[in-house]
A and B are shown apart, each in its own frame.
Chain A
Amino acid sequence: MFLLETLIKTALVIAGLMTAAAYLVLLERWMAAWIQDRLGPNRVGIPLTRIRLFGLGQPLADGVKFFFKEEFTPSHVDKLLYFLGPAVMFTAAVAIFAVVPFGSVLPSEFGLEGMSRPIELVVAPGVDVAVLYVFAAGSIAVYGALLSGWASNNKYSMYGGLRGAAQLISYELPLGLGLVGVVLASGSLRLDVIIAQQAQSGAWNVALQPLGFLVFFVAGFAESGRLPFDLPETEQELVGGYHTEYSGVKLLLILVSEFLHMIVASFLIVILFFGGWHLWGVTGSGQEVTWPIALARVVVLLGKVLLTILFFMLARWSWPRFRFDQLMALAWKVILPLGMVNLVVLVVWVEYGAKMAAALGISNIAAMAAFGWGVFAASAAVVVWLVPGEPDNRPRRGPAWQLGPTDEEETPQ
């Protein structure tokens, strides 16, 4: 019975993810078009008819196209690794969803024979190390990028792979630091517990740990390789990055994996910092649910995820891409120290905060929020103080710039 339940959920998740990825591509293209004052894909409708349906048939057409395109394998590639790259990427990306909840639980009256507990809306319920698992599976994506980049035997792919590896590894740290704050506060590595805690207190982590949220959010962006952090596949520099040499279904796998990374990042952001399925006055907060509440929780969670994804897409056209050195500097010089500050502060809070709040006679949540925002403001002040006001891409007028030998005094001020 347990096996059947798992199989059904797995099938649901994979089918849902593939459909979601396909339609998110359409959504992304629409967003891109609208932001650029265009209309976007609006022609493809129901096949063999003239019904256009605002272009909703586009993902279908794209999929068909991908499968029927010539799948070309260049002669100069390392065949085994070349095939392995997309496979690893895709598998790792899908595997993460084993522990990501897409709702709360189903009502306890619904269940299969022999089931002792309500069905949880997650493929692998009750995983104690869910957060660790997410990280472990997510890190494998690095192998996908590196393998594809290396196996393609092409300089652009190689650069893309190297950049991808460097970027993913660099941002893994702040991602972890941002997360540890949440884990510390909740005392559990289980995603459903983290959601439940937020639901119970009614205060989402984003309000309590704004600094941790910022760190996690930025690192999550970078991990999913989206603009402004899409250095591994900068079209203007690297053709297509590590997937330059791929075509057909293998390219499809890579592109879908990238979308899945974005979806995962959105899920995690929502679950860890925005209360998961919780919405005040709508979803309740208890373990026992009725059908409407169970459905509402699914809708709320997916709605929040969709909003996050829309933000991802909006961000793509809003902010210019970082330069690679800026990307690294941001990771190591800004986000990582902020993450550490967040961690230390939280450790201190967990140790003494509750007692101090009790001593002062204010509620624990309010004190934590005040403390968190205080730290956030202080950190922002420190950043303002430390960051140079002069952009570093300004041409240098010092001796390095000068063509001939010139005295320092002659340099115009």
Chain B
Amino acid sequence: MKPDDPRVRWIDEPELGPLGRVYVPLATEGLATTLRHLFGRKKTVQSPEERYVSPAPLIYRGVHRLNRDSQGRVKCVACFLCATACPAHCIDIVAAESPWPDRDKYPESFTIDELRCIYCGMCEEACPVDAIELTSLYDLSGKSREEMIFDKEKLLAVYDMTKDAEPMRTAGVPEPRRKEDGP
């Protein structure tokens, strides 16, 4: 669509009135705003004495977790879409044939380098089965780089830890399907 397309509706800045043109009234308005905040209520949370509790944990993008399906198995189907979407290349998956009769593919190993991650949330956007999600855990720390590379067990443990406070966004599980025909 070109800028001169007739369907483009142009929204312009409002015209400056005579007062606006001398800058001072608008500047005073700005000053008034800052002054109001200067004496306003402060929002700082005194961490670590106080802990911040997110009012909307589902929106927050913190540490990842790998969800479990209704049978407690890892929900991930190892489709690599998160690894494809990841702009930081911090997800490493090794796929294999699943040991379960109703699933084809599963992640043999699933690793996220939490230090490399930029917490953009693209992985959970990409996931077709809502297996990977970002929790509202924000104070992630460790003493070594290795410690910050989360493997499948650790990511599942994050799920177990957070599932009550933050339930899975969709509980849906792919419909079981018979995997193998008779020989």
User: Is A37 in contact with B16, judged by CB distance below 8 angstroms?
Assistant: no
Q: Does B38 contact A (CB under 8 A)?
A: yes
User: Is A39 in contact with B37, judged by CB distance below 8 angstroms?
Assistant: no
Q: Count A-side interface residues using an 8 Å CB cutoff.
A: 31
User: Is A37 in contact with B43, judged by CB distance below 8 angstroms?
Assistant: yes
User: Is A384 in contact with B18, judged by CB distance below 8 angstroms?
Assistant: yes
User: Is A384 in contact with B22, judged by CB distance below 8 angstroms?
Assistant: yes
Complex CA distance for A347 and B22, rounded to whole angstroms: 25
Closest to A404 in B: B2
User: Is B13 in contact with A35, judged by CB distance below 8 angstroms?
Assistant: no
User: Is B37 in contact with A36, judged by CB distance below 8 angstroms?
Assistant: yes
A390 touches which one: B10, B16, B22, B41 (CB < 8 A)? Answer: B16
Q: Count B-side interface residues using an 8 Å CB cutoff.
A: 30
Task: Give a binary string over B7-41; 1 marks a CB under 8 Å from any A CB, 0 the rest.
Answer: 01010110111101110000100110111011111
Q: Given contacts A315-B31, A387-B21, are A34 and B3 in contact (CB under 8 A)?
A: no
Shortest B89–chain A CB gap in Å is 27
Task: Give the residues in chain A near B15, CB-CB below 8 Å.
Answer: 389-390
Task: Give the residues in chain B near A116, CB-CB below 8 Å.
Answer: none
User: Is B13 in contact with A394, judged by CB distance below 8 angstroms?
Assistant: yes
Q: Given contacts A39-B44, A389-B21, are A402 and B4 in contact (CB under 8 A)?
A: yes
User: Is A34 in contact with B37, judged by CB distance below 8 angstroms?
Assistant: yes
Complex CA distance for A34 and B38, rounded to whole angstroms: 5
Task: Give the residues in chain A near B2, CB-CB below 8 Å.
Answer: 402-404
User: Is A37 in contact with B40, judged by CB distance below 8 angstroms?
Assistant: yes
Q: Given contacts A383-B21, A397-B3, are A35 and B38 in contact (CB under 8 A)?
A: yes
B38 touches which one: A314, A390, A410 (CB < 8 A)? Answer: A314
Task: Give the residues in chain B near A397, CB-CB below 8 Å.
Answer: 3-4, 10
Closest to B15 in A: A389
Complex CA distance for A33 and B13, rounded to whole angstroms: 30
User: Is A314 in contact with B22, judged by CB distance below 8 angstroms?
Assistant: no
Q: Sample 21 A-B pairs with CB under 8 A, ordered by A number.
A: A36-B37, A37-B40, A37-B41, A37-B44, A38-B42, A38-B43, A314-B34, A314-B35, A314-B38, A319-B27, A319-B30, A384-B21, A387-B16, A389-B17, A389-B20, A389-B21, A390-B16, A395-B3, A402-B4, A403-B2, A410-B4
Known contacts A317-B34, A395-B3; 17 additional CB pairs below 8 A are A37-B40, A37-B44, A38-B43, A39-B44, A318-B27, A380-B22, A383-B22, A384-B21, A384-B22, A387-B16, A387-B21, A389-B15, A390-B16, A391-B16, A394-B13, A397-B3, A403-B3
10 tightest A-B contacts by CB? A318-B30, A387-B21, A39-B44, A318-B34, A384-B18, A37-B43, A318-B31, A384-B21, A35-B34, A389-B16
